[in-house]
Amino acid sequence: MSTLNINEDRLWSSLMEMAKIGATEKGGCARLALTDLDKQARKLFIQWCEAAGCSVSVDQVGNIFARRPGKNMDLPPVGTGSHLDTQPTGGKFDGVFGVLAGLEVLRTLQDHNIETEATVEVSVWTNEEGSRFAPAMMGSGVVSGRLELDVVLATEDVNGLSFGDELRRIGFAGDVPASGRAYTAFFETHIEQGPYLENENKAIGVVTKGQGQRWYDVIITGRESHAGTTPMHLRKDALAAASHLVLEVQKIANGNQPACGTVGCMQVFPNSRNTIPGQISMGVDLRHPDDEILSKMDGELRAYLDELPQIADVEVSLDPYWYYAPIDFDAGCRAAVRDGAEAHGYSYMEIIAGAGHDACYVADFAPTSMIFTPCKDGISHNEIESTSKEECAAGCNVLLHAMMTMARGSDSE
């Protein structure tokens, strides 16, 4: 009896083929949600799934579901999946690895004519990154009930194009209700996006918890004026005030370890070399695995923003528009991942997910866990993001074992 393995060459080939869609000069991908490139990637995924004997459906928020039926259709499916959209300067593996690992599980089951008791399903969740339309994880957020469908469909990008209109334009405004989904179990396979597995020389991360996040939009309003004729003591420099806030976000994070705090986007108005900035719009991102400490960080940020008008003679507005609490992943699903690693002889360690993932929303309505694999130097959200064929195969083999365990199929032949 030998443990069943996926076809690692086929998985790698699929990853490289998908990476051609939106390929960048530095070796990454730029495939933002609901663009023509996203449409092209979605169509390729559907083509591959149908060739593997699966039925495909699309819901109202554009999530794609590929199903391989089980013997007992009364059982909720065992699911896996991630996303195909990327950051503007993203890599080949973030999100897409989790989708194509799921596809490889479907292909492997088909290759070996394996029947599972429960249906097996692979999902592509819409707009996980939140780069074009904010907040992140919109597709899974709507299904979980955390986000309202009408609000998401009305959300506009920086060019005033709405999510709903773009969804229709690319042909992925489905008619399946974006609610009421159920799973026997759900797994998301993902590159770690951090350095721990590589530093500890572990092949698999058994993800125990998802870190909580708070996102804020901050607008700082000063007064634009001539850069050469306005004395320093009479200025209301919005960008100088924003600089104070950037340093405070760093201070809040460093004072609440293992927290993370980031200012990752900023718009300067009027953005002229010889004009004092009159208004700054900026995004703040706070994260922590402990909700009590994350709430403390929220209070510290708000208190500083109350002080900033006196410090820098500006006006400040705050929109705390997105929050999700830290979540604990399901013990049974985590055990299935550990068993998969042991069955294949892979080294593993428990780990916390520092980034947001669709699995964090799926955990609202289904037993859920994640499988992490190493990425070189822990780098992600970057065109140089890298991993190996063998590392991807290891994660996919563990996924296959975990899904078959939960779908009550045998993974040996």
Q: What is the DSSP string of 84-111?
A: ----TTB-SSTTHHHHHHHHHHHHHHHH
Confidence band, pLDDT 50/70/90 cuts, at residue 35: very high
Please tell me the number of Cα atoms within 13 Å of 270 on its side-chain side.
Answer: 10
Closest CA to 185 of 385, 368, 310, 2: 368
pLDDT in tens, 110-137: 999 999 999 999 999 999 999 999 988 9
pLDDT on residue 324: 83
pLDDT in tens, 213-257: 999 999 999 999 999 999 999 999 999 999 999 999 999 999 999
Pairwise CA distance, residues 198 & 327, whole Å: 24
Q: Are 361 and 235 in contact (CB under 8 A)?
A: no
Q: β-strands 315-324, 212-221: how paired?
A: antiparallel
Residue 297, classed as helix, strand or coil, is helix
Measured CA distances, 41 to 60, 140, 250 (Å) = 19, 19, 37
Residue with token string 């391989």: 68
pLDDT in tens, 297-351: 999 999 999 999 999 999 999 999 889 889 999 999 999 999 999 999 999 999 9
Q: Are 387 and 376 in contact (CB under 8 A)?
A: yes
Q: Are 194 and 378 in contact (CB under 8 A)?
A: yes
Mean pLDDT rounded to a whole number for the chain: 95
Over residues 70-91, the mean pLDDT reads 96
pLDDT on residue 171: 98
pLDDT on residue 408: 85
Domains by residue range for the chain, with CATH:
8-211+326-406 (3.40.630.10), 212-324 (3.30.70.360)
Measured CA distances, 10 to 82, 93, 160 (Å) = 19, 15, 40
Close Cβ partners of 27 (under 8 Å, ≥ 6 residues apart): 92, 383, 384
Helix then strand count (H, E) for the chain reads 12, 13
pLDDT in tens, 367-407: 999 999 999 999 999 899 999 999 999 999 999 999 999 99
